[in-house]
Amino acid sequence: MLIKLQGSETDLTSATSVGNASLVRVYNSGGSALLVTEKNGAATVGTVTLAGGAVEYINKVPAHTLEGGAALKVVHVGFAN
């Protein structure tokens, strides 16, 4: 799989839309499982637990935010051919 970077990596220390991304690569740089939360304003849309060292891709509404902690590294991406 090829990914196209569409921004710079940041973390989920505070809630962020990751540059109004619709597709976000999330990497848990920590050694323990961490919870990623997607929100629409104050309302929780969903959650997922990422194991330490795991990478997942989250498809979200651009205005929604993600949060979860400093060990969760995120970047706006797209899939390339």
A 10 A CB-CB count for 70 gives 12
- In angstroms, the CA 8 to CA 48 distance is 23
Distance, CA of 27 to chain centre: 8
In sign, the C-alpha dihedral spanning 44, 62, 51, 67 is negative
Q: What is the pLDDT of residue 1?
A: 75
- Which domains, from first to last, does the chain contain? 2-80 (2.60.120)
pTM recorded for the entire structure: 0.94
Query: What residues of the chain score a pLDDT lower than 70?
Result: none
Residues 49 and 41: their CA atoms lie apart, in Å, by 21
